């Protein structure tokens, strides 16, 4: 472990972080991995599940999505303590056709359930060209992108989405009805790295708002509405009847399109599978109650895999993807910027974090130490 | 035909229209249908193709997407005159698996090619649960929603997307690299009408900007950038090196997410199928040249169909969709507004236009009369 003098490359998220003056502590990835895996083992996860769950969870830290990585480990532990996560789930197909399946996650960690479901989609794609799997009775599954990227090594396009507890007000709504419902799509290339899009269907990710709240900083208009449905810079309004806004921000800038996207994710993930949808999606945090009138089981995910050679020879596809990627990456850009390919920034961060370690905020480290003590797991030396 | 005193229900698009002081003329749907079909027949389309092309094209007028309806008929005729549309295409599958296909549109009208391709997706879904079809060598296919909605009567979810000629600059790009690349998703319900999302992956549709240009009205910031990549209210900048902006509008409001969406549409539609992608997509207007160094054939589309009973019993799914829809529709709304279900506004407009007729702008009528004369087709009495 080493103390980090903040010198990270800037990104939008980091720019906010820098204003917080919080101390970051650096941990080697392998140490964080061993610790996290031991926590999952202490929860009762089988060896293999603990290995997968750790890999998925820490892929967020490696890719710079700090809100979805090891910072959430204590949240999973609390849900398990509250009896809302099954550490030994029997994940199984409950309905299927040659190209589709519905999977019951048996209340397991989404970090474990999701890779199983994505593998089913991949296996079906091997057989009939494409595979599509809707999942019920699951929990938070980490970053959407991890699961989509599982398809890449098979020369497949991977798709991953999940619903989440309601934080977002549809256009015109005073009520939160949707989660930040992310979509990820991973597309293989030949000599270029793959394209990996992974984004919440809101204007801004919830993680950014938590940081603004902590530091009393203003949010840009179009991120949040107050309890009267009026856009506001005050992130604290989220605790007072406000809501996140769908991608687009307001009607004039297409918020109804972000609302469509979030709805599609919700329906594919939960109405297809039989999970809870809309305002019934159970919260990630254990101190909030589960809705007493569920319309399904747990939260829902949706996965897809398409073999590229189910459409044209794989080499043709990948050669043209290289051309697509280099054309976009080399396009003339605004002063001081460049045109990024989705997945570029995350890959750069991953490279640096594998080499230099993963930075964690001091309060996150404090939480992890408490969990370690509670579960009798040694923390990182 | 009757002259319309403008008293239409207001929508965002109509509000702009009202400021234009252009005269609207009303035509009964059946008269417009007969005329349009005769134009397609005069181009040499077989009876059945002319019938389908007319149905698809006018579905835009019925649903209130006036930019994509009969107003474009003269554009298709000019492309045909320029030898860029094949009126008698041999649309065929060139590559397939049980759940996927690639279709060669043989340079036909997208209005004809797309329903054939969507039907292939539906047929595959009947066999193996889902069907996915990528199309090359096609042309503009009307509104995305029409094709997605073909799935509804089969208790399937329908998906439709298409690429289009480059008007949109990715985040940070000075160059137009993507079309307005729409996505449509149609989802069946039980007693409620289906949910039909159909939206361009840009902040604003191009049709709205054409109206602003014509009347020298300002656009909201976040719709357009100028040739230096700076957001501008001046819609004329589009003719001077400017570009439309991806959904989100700017980086701070998530334009990289709109850029991801437009990219996914482009790749699914064209890199999978072997059509032109990115800056190579040929223009809809015949006075602009086709790129001299094509990377594929024509423009591309992508279609999907998923049987809902490939995931759970259809009645279960549709009952929960009804619950989803009524929950959202009845949510508390901001003063004077209501929460809309995607597809609600278009269905209302369709009801009124089937009964009261389709309003056309005077310049559109003038264009249609010229086409009628040129092709020796009688215009509407």
Mapping DSSP onto H, E and C, the string for A207-219 reads HHHHHHHHHCCEC
DSSP per-residue letters across B209-222 = HHHHHHHTPBPPTT
Q: Do A272 and B99 touch (CB under 8 A)?
A: no
Question: Alpha-carbon torsion A308, A314, A320, A322, what sign?
Answer: positive
Q: Do A263 and B342 touch (CB under 8 A)?
A: yes
User: A206 is written with which tokens?
Assistant: 């919830």
For residue B355, the model assigns a pLDDT of 95
| Residue A207: pLDDT band with limits 50, 70, 90 | confident
Question: Alpha-carbon torsion B78, B84, B85, B88, what sign?
Answer: positive
Q: Nearest by CB to B134, which of A263, A273, A311?
A: A311
Question: Which residue in A109, A69, A105, A103 sits closest to A87, CA to CA?
Answer: A109
Instruction: Tell me what the mean pLDDT of segment A230-259 comes to.
Output: 95
Residue A11 in this model has a pLDDT that exceeds 50: no
Instruction: Tell me what the mean pLDDT of segment A84-111 comes to.
Output: 98
For residue A206, the model assigns a pLDDT of 79
Q: Which residue of B has its CA nearest to A225?
A: B334
Q: Do A99 and B202 touch (CB under 8 A)?
A: no
For residue B2, the model assigns a pLDDT of 42
Q: Nearest by CB to A264, which of B171, B185, B248?
A: B185
For residue B83, the model assigns a pLDDT of 96
Substitution target in B121, B271, B329, B338 with the highest count of A β-carbons within 10 Å is: B271
For residue A1, the model assigns a pLDDT of 42
Instruction: Tell me what the mean pLDDT of segment A315-344 comes to.
Output: 97
Domains of chain B, earliest start first: 1-88+357-381 (1.10.1530.10), 89-203+251-345 (3.30.1370.60), 205-244 (3.30.60.50)
Residue A181 in this model has a pLDDT that exceeds 70: yes
Contact list, A254 vs chain B (CB under 8 Å): 199, 202-204, 247
Q: CB–CB of A154/A121 below 8 Å?
A: no
Write down how long chain B is: 381
Contact list, B317 vs chain A (CB under 8 Å): 271-272
User: B152 is written with which tokens?
Assistant: 């509804």
Instruction: Give the Cα-Cα-Cα angle A90, A94, A98 (nearest 5 degrees).
Output: 120
Q: What percent of chain A has pLDDT over 70?
A: 94
User: A147 is written with which tokens?
Assistant: 């699961």
Ranges of chain B with pLDDT below 50 = 1-16
What distance in Å separates the CA atoms of residue A372 and residue A368, rounded to the nearest whole number?
6
Calculate helix-pair angle for B29-42, B47-62, nearest 10 degrees.
140
What distance in Å separates the CA atoms of residue B180 and residue B162, rounded to the nearest whole number?
9
Contact list, A248 vs chain B (CB under 8 Å): 203, 247-249, 253
For residue B207, the model assigns a pLDDT of 76
For residue A21, the model assigns a pLDDT of 64
Q: Which residue of A has its CA nearest to B258?
A: A247
For residue B20, the model assigns a pLDDT of 56
pTM of the model as a whole: 0.95
Contact list, A246 vs chain B (CB under 8 Å): none
Global ipTM: 0.95
For residue A348, give the H/E element and its range: helix A344-356
Q: Do A257 and B220 touch (CB under 8 A)?
A: no
pLDDT in tens, A359-375: 999 999 999 999 999 99
Q: Which residue of A has its CA nearest to B184?
A: A260
Q: Nearest by CB to A317, which of B197, B248, B271?
A: B271
Contact list, A337 vs chain B (CB under 8 Å): 172
């Amino acid at each position: 472990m080493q103390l980090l003098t903040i010198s990270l490359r800037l990104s939008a998220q980091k720019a906010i972080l820098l204003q917080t003056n919080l101390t970051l502590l650096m941990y080697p990835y392998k140490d964080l991995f061993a610790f996290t895996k031991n926590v999952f083992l202490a929860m009762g996860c089988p060896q293999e599940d603990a290995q997968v769950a750790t890999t998925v969870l820490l892929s967020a830290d490696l890719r710079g999505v700090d809100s979805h990585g090891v910072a959430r480990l204590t949240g999973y532990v609390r849900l398990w303590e509250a009896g809302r996560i099954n550490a030994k789930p029997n994940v199984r197909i409950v309905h299927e056709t040659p190209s589709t399946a519905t999977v019951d996650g048996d209340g397991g960690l989404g970090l474990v359930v999701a890779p199983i479901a994505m593998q089913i989609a991949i296996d079906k794609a091997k057989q009939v060209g494409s595979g599509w799997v809707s999942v019920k009775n699951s929990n938070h599954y980490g970053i959407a992108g991890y699961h989509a990227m599982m398809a890449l090594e098979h020369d497949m396009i991977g798709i991953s989405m999940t619903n989440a507890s309601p934080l977002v007000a549809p256009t015109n709504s005073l009520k939160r009805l949707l989660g930040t419902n992310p979509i990820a799509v991973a597309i293989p290339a030949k000599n270029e790295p793959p394209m990996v899009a992974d984004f919440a269907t809101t204007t801004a990710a919830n993680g950014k708002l938590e940081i603004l709240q902590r530091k009393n900083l203003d949010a840009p208009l179009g991120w949040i509405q107050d309890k009267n449905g009026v856009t506001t810079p005050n992130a604290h309004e989220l605790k007072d009847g406000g809501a996140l806004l769908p991608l687009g921000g307001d009607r004039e800038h297409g918020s109804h399109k972000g609302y469509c996207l979030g709805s599609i994710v919700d329906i594919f993930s939960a109405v297809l599978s039989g999970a809870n949808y809309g305002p019934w999606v159970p919260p990630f945090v254990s101190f909030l109650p589960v809705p007493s009138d569920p319309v399904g089981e747990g939260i829902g995910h949706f996965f897809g895999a398409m073999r590229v050679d189910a459409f044209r020879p794989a080499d043709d596809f990948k050669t043209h993807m290289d051309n697509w990627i280099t054309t976009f990456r080399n396009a003339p850009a605004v002063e001081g910027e460049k045109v990024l390919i989705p997945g570029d920034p995350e890959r750069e961060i991953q490279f640096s974090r594998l080499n230099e370690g993963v930075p964690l905020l001091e309060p996150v480290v404090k939480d992890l130490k408490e969990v370690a003590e509670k579960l009798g797991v040694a923390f990182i030396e």
